[in-house]
Amino acid sequence: MDYVIPAPPVAAVPVRGGGLFPVRRIFCVGRNYAAHAREMGHDPDRDPPFFFTKPADAILTGGADMPYPPATKDLHHEVELVVAIGLGGANIPAADAASHIWGYGVGLDMTRRDVQGEAKKLGRPWDMGKGFDHSAPIGELVRAAELGKYETGHVLLNVNGSERQSGDIADMIWSVPEVISILSGLVRLEPGDLIFTGTPEGVAAVKPGDVLEGLISGLPPLRTKIAG
């Protein structure tokens, strides 16, 4: 095909044991842990699931430093289980969702909280609060076949060696199969899609020099340093 400009590179996430998982789109679930929903001022018993996106090239891999982004003074961390889709589909029943999962990883939904807050106040889109450059650090992916049934697991974020966030996959309001089913009713999922599944309570600001380590049972750790 004759492109009129050079084709952009394909964003990709390393896989444990070798290889790369190409990234098509990144979807994120908002407020999927009850305690986090409450710390953000919402009632988890009444809020239905909702989704937002990040560009595929927002991923940051290999333990690289994350540059502190411009236009914010309140950069927050949100550690999350990431689901990698290997088989596409629309209106996927929750009972069939597992067959669409290629693998799992640890991710950070980094957020310019002040930018997001101003957008919320004005009724504007969150894109610039959530979808900025390098806003999706992610660790190596692990094939679902290596993990078996994956419904529980400790979710932890340390900042400079001290615990900031702690929860369990089992604490999700909407389980991974339910998230896949609901999201696939809104858009057709395709191979290469990533889903960030929500974060436990304890989100807080970070500053240049801080070292973030995300840990989820059974998955390779995610480490990044906030660079000035």
pLDDT tens string 157-187: 999 999 999 999 999 999 999 999 999 999 9
Alpha helices in 81-195 (DSSP H): 113-122, 127-130, 144-147, 176-184
Query: How confident is the model at residue 219, as a pLDDT?
Result: 98
Share of the chain above pLDDT 90, in %: 90
Q: Which backbone phi and psi does 214 adopt, to 5 degrees?
A: -100, 135
Structural domains of the chain ordered from first start: 12-227 (3.90.850.10)
Helix or strand (DSSP H, E) at 67? strand 66-67
Q: Which backbone phi and psi does 209 adopt, to 5 degrees?
A: 100, -20
Residue of 136, 159, 155 lying closest to 207 (CA atoms)? 159
Q: How far apart are CA 26 and CA 129, in angstroms?
A: 15
Q: Which two tokens stand for residue 206?
A: 């970070």
pLDDT by 10-residue block (mean), the chain, 228 residues: 94 98 97 71 70 98 98 98 98 98 98 97 97 98 94 97 97 95 97 97 97 98 96
pTM equals 0.95
N-to-C CA span, the chain: 41
